[in-house]
Amino acid sequence: MKQLRAQQLAEWLADENRPSPVLLDVREPWELELCQLAGSQHIPMHLVPTRCDEIDSGQEVVVICHHGGRSMQVAMFLERKGFGAVYNLMGGVEAWAGEVDPNMRRY
């Protein structure tokens, strides 16, 4: 599992020559209602073990949560399940709001 900073993810998403990753948001539904990254796939952390077949293992996956702790655990889990390119968004949506999108709602 690799660590990815919010600014690095923003640059990746803006790069038209690089395929976009799966943005896997593992926060709870109430958190997703507050803010989210556009185009993210939502599977709450506790459901990932039973729903990981819904994640495209052939693509690079960036796992996202509020501060980066839950996403790191899920990223490690996905690696153990055989996913090849998994990244943890360091600092989560909080870092995204602070470094990339100041208009994103914070909580």
Q: Which residues are catalytic?
A: 65
Sorted by sequence, the CB contacts under 8 Å of residue 74 that are 6+ apart come out as 24, 26, 45, 48, 63, 65
